[in-house]
Amino acid sequence: MKTHLLAATLLAAAMADISPAHAGERAGAPGIRTDVAPKQEIRLERITPEYWRVTLDNPPFNIFGPETIPQLNSIITQIETDPKVKVVVFQSAVRGFFLTHYDFVPPLSATTSIPPGATGLPALPDMLVRLSRAPVVSIVSIRGRATGVGSELSLASDMRFASREKAVLSQWEIGAALVPGGGPMARLPRLVGRGRALEILLAGEDISGDLAERYGYVNRALPDAELDRFVDALARRIARFDKRSIADIKRLVDIPSLPPNSEIAAEWDAFLASAHRPQAQQNLKRLLEMGLQTKPDVEKRLPYYTGTLGQ
């Protein structure tokens, strides 16, 4: 496993434009090793002992960073081990963003220094693999952008439902000269076929809820006004079913549908290798200068901005 650091000095220069307010927030949550408790970005709510809800709440963009990993890990561990829970719904409390890309402000070492997880995989792919294999039904309810990690969390979940008007899915990484690291090269072809997977991964474009349904990227896109009610009814229905038979059905579906861990590991290696190459470092620096992670327009129209980099 490669462990060189992203050139933090390059990124530090890029951060000069970041507003003091954000810089302040960051200063208060610099990573996972601070003695100050990090902001709780993810909330777990037990609606009933059988039906849990996980709310992603890290405004303004629901960016996922190294400090988020132990928070999500704790929740996934509870999902794996709780004797009663049968179904978990993931949703966002941040308007416009389900869960977006990885945090490129902390040095990459803040991520690579997190110990591997129970599967032996690095922490982020480890959690996603464990969510897929947990004997509990995971459902994502996508409203707003599910970009990068947001798409990867969705792909690792068992079912995906999207707002027809307000969901946007994407694997945008190629636009920054990055290879995605959280499993989409393994999971997308099995879900949507090779051709659509390559389009999603190599165009790095936004995929609307409607197109996501046509491609099979989500189970269904629903009118935004119906999404919450639909997902809640589905979760409550499953929560009344037999936990043991749910687990047996999942286990049998896993056999033909889950990628082997070796494919997941290869993606993380390719992601790290790409992140250390000069092209990605330069592209990330320029995106941060443009306003990635600070300006709403850059986050909301990310494919437009990545499309300007190579010109």
Q: Which of residues 175-194 bind its own copies (CB under 8 A)?
A: 175, 177-180, 185-186, 188-194
Return d(Cα 246, Cα 236) in angstroms, integer. 14
Q: Which residues 146-175 are close enough to bind its own copies by CB under 8 A?
A: 158-160, 173-175
- Residue 143 contacts residue 91 (beta carbons within 8 Å): yes
Count residues contacting its own copies (CB under 8 A)?
71
> Should residue 27 be labelled a site residue for its own copies when binding is judged by CB under 8 A?
no
Q: Which is nearer to its own copies, 43 or 194 (CB)?
A: 194
Provide the phi-psi class of 291: left if phi over 0, else alpha when psi is between -120 and 50, else beta.
left
Asked whether position 47 contacts its own copies by CB under 8 A, the answer is no
Distance CA 167, CA 96 (A): 8
301 counts as binding its own copies under rule CB under 8 A = no
Among 277, 296, 297, 301, binds its own copies (CB under 8 A): 277
Of 196-235, which residues contact its own copies (CB under 8 A)? 196-199, 201-205, 213-216, 218-220, 234
Q: Does 302 bind its own copies (CB under 8 A)?
A: no
> Rounded CA gap, 194 and 243, in Å?
34
Binding to its own copies, residues 246-265 (CB under 8 A): 246, 248-250, 252-253, 255-259, 263
Choice from 16, 35, 37, 245 touching its own copies (CB under 8 A): 245
Q: Which is nearer to its own copies, 31 or 187 (CB)?
A: 187
Burial 134-168 (b: 16+ CB within 10 A, else e): bbbbbbbbbbbbbbbbbbbbbbbbbbbbbbbebbb
Q: Could you tell me where the DSSP H helices lie in the chain? A: 8-14, 20-28, 68-81, 109-112, 123-133, 149-156, 184-192, 194-203, 209-215, 224-239, 243-257, 261-275, 278-290, 296-300, 302-307
The footprint of its own copies on residues 85-144 (CB under 8 A) is 137
Q: How far is the CB of 170 from its own copies (least distance, A)?
A: 13
Would you say 303 and 170 are in contact if contact means Cβ atoms under 8 Å apart? Answer: yes
Nearer to its own copies, 87 or 110 (CB): 87
Shortest Å, Cβ 304 to its own copies: 11
Q: Does 2 bind its own copies (CB under 8 A)?
A: no
- Beta pairing partners, 92: 56
